[in-house]
Structure 1
Amino acid sequence: MVDATLLRAGWAKPFLFLLCSLPFAYIVYGVIADQLGPDPVKTLIHITGEWGLRFFLVAFALTPFRRWFGLAALLRFRRMLGLFVWFYVSVHLLVVLTYLFGWDWEIAREELSERPYIIAGFASWLLLVPLGLTSNNRAVRALKKNWQRVHYLVYPAIGLAWLHVAWQTRSSYFDAVVYGLIILVLFLPRLKVFQNRR
């Protein structure tokens, strides 16, 4: 069991920020040192997408973990983790636009017709944009009760992120099934709360 006093410590947020930055540092090192294997573009697209989804799952887990383990202090980190989700997914999108599409609409149209799962991934990123832009105290004050409604976009966003992974699977569905089960387990407690509110 995690000690709640550790979660409230002043160094907890800087430590989490450093921890969340490590995958990006590893990715940058792999690019600079040419350590991304024989197909660096494919590796770069894959690794940035994987980390984006992993952070998405961690951020999505905070609310149920708070309820299951009685750790209200976990919510201190929700905003930071959410912004890291947006960051890693945006890096993933930037890599795709640069190395797969070459910022060329004709190439993009051809790729989208051959790889429709990209549309699901892009739609997920679009839904994250208002979440990222409103993840500040000023937006909370301005939107008031509507702030929570805006942040309900996280549900279709994580669903589309899973669809993006599952749709492109060609051989083993293991990762897609595991991710889907994790999302389902994390969503069920929220569904109960929604029903109780109604």
Structure 2
Amino acid sequence: MSAGRLAQAGLVALCALPALLSVGRLWLGVADPADYLTRQSGWWALTWLIATLTVSPLAVLLHAPRLIAFRRTLGLTAFAYASAHLSVYVAQVAPTPSVLLDDLVGSPYIVAGFAAWLMLLPLAVTSSKYWMKRLGRSWARLHRLVYPALMLGCLHYLWLTKSDYREPALLTAIATLLLAWRIWRWQRRHRAGSVT
């Protein structure tokens, strides 16, 4: 197995580890399994999404373009955890559709979270090289949806937090820095293009 494939396999194992640990914790017993799964899957979805957007800055700063190869795995992992997060929530409210409707109307954090998941869905579907070739330049434009999805995910976390805001605030600050870096890079390239 090549070094690249070995690194990818290691990353996949790392990405699966939180899910395996959550299953183990459930097996040992928790007071509220649904609440535990909802919180764990949501936190990891946002964390893996931030990790996905950290790849490009690291590749530039470390002069290691090969790191970009890990971005797809991280992005799909974020979507998988976000889907698990949504599935656990839907499983809880599905028996009472009126509750789901009330949540969508009266709970902005539910709307923000669902909107973030909807934005990630086409990115997961079109993440392969096949879709990259088929969509051409439109592929890059489509995948910019990851930026509003990230901010909506942070907003979702901030809104549902009741007391201790330190963790959601930290993740939001990191996400903001990552987006600021991208804006700075875009402005720098734009200015360089204007000069030439």
Please indicate, yes or no, whether the TM-score normalized by the shorter chain is above 0.5.
yes
Q: How many residues align?
A: 189
How does the TM-score come out when normalised to structure 2? 0.90
**Deviation, structure 1 residue 77:** 0.5
Alignment correspondent of 2:141 = 149
State the partner residue of 2:172. Answer: 180
Give the conservation status (yes or no) of the 8 Å contact 1:139–1:147: yes
* Closer/same/farther in 2, CA of residues 51 and 44 from structure 1, 3 Å limit: same
The Cα shift of 1:8 comes to 5.0
RMSD: 1.7
The range that moved more, 111-120 or 169-178, is 111-120
Partner of residue 71, structure 1: 64
Aligned partner letter, 1:47: Q
More helix by share: 2
Query: How many angstroms does 1:103 deviate by?
Result: 5.0
Indicate which of 9, 19, 27 corresponds to 1:24: 19
Aligned-pair CA distance for 1:102? 2.3
Give the match for residue 77 of structure 2: 84
Residue type of the partner of 1:96? Answer: Y
Deviation at 1:188, TM superposition (A): 1.8
Give the aligned partner of residue 4 of structure 1.
Answer: none
Give unmatched runs, 5+ long, in structure 2: 191-196
The answer to whether the Cα contact below 8 Å between 1:120 and 1:163 also exists between their aligned partners in 2 is: yes
| 1:48-107 superposed Cα distances (whole Å, 9 cap, x missing partner) | 1011111111111001111112121110111111111110000000000002x1254212
Shift of 1:9: 3.5
Deviates more, 1:166-175 or 1:117-126: 166-175
2: CA distance between counterparts of 1:181 and 1:94?
27
Cα distance in 2, alignment partners of residues 125 and 103 from structure 1:
22
Greater Cα shift, 57-66 or 105-114: 105-114
Identical aligned residues as a percent: 33
Aligned to 2:35: 42
Q: Residues 2-43 of structure 1, C-alpha deviation per residue, up to 9 Å, x if partnerless? A: xxxxx9543101111111111111222333x152x2122211
Pairs within 5 Å for 1:48-127: 48-99=41-92, 101-102=93-94, 104-127=96-119
TM-score (norm: length of structure 1): 0.89
CA distance in 1, matches of 2:176, 2:150: 11
Q: Which runs of 5+ in 1 are unaligned?
A: 1-6
Residues 121, 160 of structure 1: 8 Å contact kept: yes
